[in-house]
């Protein structure tokens, strides 16, 4: 089911599988990463939350999203049910939830099966084993620390400790040139930039028209500028390049938009559908 070994293409830009390959497999799971590798992505994009016992879990939300997860009894989680928080669980509790079987109206073609949220560590071990076993090109990892400024002390232990845990695991498991850390939270980027200047950082933003202000607020130029794709123009792409940064927009799910952005000269594309990515 998961191991199609259908290597479709090599890309001359950084093709990033968003949450693995969310259009095809349940998001942020090991099978989603394997599928993305089979489709030839150069980078695996994923999100992190952290459990009460300090385990880094691959998850977009710091709770069990009722849209994608079923409770330990296989039942639906109510939209207002606030009792399924990853930050208040130990990892053994996280494992009880099935986040792959429920139909997802936003991604109706996702293959459905029982799967739980993986530890970051296990995901990396499995991916590395897969690429080694099948002789695939080594992928990079674009790891998002999901930490909103109002989340301190609630969803995570604070930007410094969260960053430290992520950095220490990544440095233990991967060569430094095979991962970057991304965040919308400037404090995370500032912390890592100061303490680990050799780690590649990507700044996530909504609106690329405000890049000047955003970079002033951040206080340095990260290696990668990663805006929402919709309002991008050639002028913006050029101005980011002129500042010495790469530009890798998210989340581009339509082939024409991908072509348009590649024509503008973006350095990469983050997509839920790496199967639609133009071969260049």
Q: How many residues does the chain have?
A: 280
- Cα-based distances in Å from 99 to 29, 110, 255: 9, 12, 28
> Which residue's beta carbon is nearest to the bound ligand G3P?
250
Phi and psi, residue 250, nearest 5°: -125, 170
* CB-count exposure of residue 62 (10 Å: 0-12, 13-18, 19+): buried
Residue placing its CB nearer to ligand G3P in the complex, 71 or 251: 251
For the bound state, the minimum distance from the C-beta of residue 4 to ligand G3P, rounded and expressed in Å, comes to 24
251 part of the interface to ligand G3P, by CB under 6 A:
yes
- Cα-based distances in Å from 49 to 54, 96, 151, 156, 194: 10, 16, 11, 8, 22
272 part of the interface to Ca ion, by CB under 5 A:
no
Among 27, 98, 144, 272, interactor with Ca ion by CB under 5 A: 144
Query: What residues between 36 and 75 interact with Ca ion by CB under 5 A?
Result: 47
Count residues binding Ca ion (CB under 5 A). Answer: 2
Q: Taking the alpha carbons of 161, 222, 183, 11 in that order, is the dihedral positive or negative? A: negative
Among 204, 240, 258, 262, interactor with ligand G3P by CB under 6 A: 204
Q: Identify how many contiguous H helices and E strands the chain contains and give both numbers.
A: 8, 9
The interface mask with Ca ion, positions 74-113, x = CB under 5 A, is: ----------------------------------------
The interface mask with ligand G3P, positions 7-46, x = CB under 6 A, is: -----------x--------------------------x-
Q: Give which of ligand G3P, Ca ion, none residue 270 binds (C-beta under 5 to 8 Å, depending on kind).
A: ligand G3P
Closest CA to 53 of 93, 16, 9, 112: 93
Taking the C-alpha atoms of residue 121 and residue 31, their distance in angstroms, rounded to an integer, is 15
Residues binding ligand G3P (CB under 6 A): 18, 45, 47, 60, 144, 182, 204, 226, 250-251, 270
Residues binding Ca ion (CB under 5 A): 47, 144
């Amino acid at each position: 089911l998961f191991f199609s070994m259908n290597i479709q293409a090599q890309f001359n830009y950084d093709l990033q599988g968003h949450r693995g390959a969310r259009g095809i497999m349940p998001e942020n799971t090991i099978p989603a990463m394997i599928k993305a590798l089979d489709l030839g992505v150069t980078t695996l994009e994923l999100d992190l939350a952290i459990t009460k016992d300090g385990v880094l879990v691959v998850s977009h939300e710091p709770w069990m999203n009722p849209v994608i997860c079923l409770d330990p009894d296989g039942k639906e989680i109510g939209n207002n049910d606030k009792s399924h928080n990853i930050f208040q669980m130990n990892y053994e509790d996280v494992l009880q939830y099935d986040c792959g079987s429920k139909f997802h109206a936003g991604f109706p073609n996702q293959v459905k099966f029982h799967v739980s949220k993986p530890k970051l560590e296990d995901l990396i071990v499995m991916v590395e084993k897969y690429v080694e076993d099948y002789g695939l090109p080594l992928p990079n990892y674009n790891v998002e620390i999901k930490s909103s400024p109002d989340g301190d002390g609630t969803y995570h232990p604070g930007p410094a400790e969260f960053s430290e845990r992520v950095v220490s695991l990544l440095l233990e498991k991967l060569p430094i040139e095979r991962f970057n850390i991304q965040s919308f939270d400037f404090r995370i980027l500032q912390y890592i930039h100061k303490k680990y200047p050799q780690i590649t950082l990507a700044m996530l933003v909504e609106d690329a028209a405000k890049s000047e202000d955003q970079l002033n607020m951040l206080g340095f130029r990260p290696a990668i500028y990663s805006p929402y794709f919709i309002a991008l123009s050639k002028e913006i792409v050029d101005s980011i390049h002129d500042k010495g940064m790469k530009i890798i927009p998210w989340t581009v799910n339509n082939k024409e938009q991908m072509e348009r952005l590649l024509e503008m000269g973006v350095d990469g594309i983050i997509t839920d559908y790496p199967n639609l990515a133009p071969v260049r």
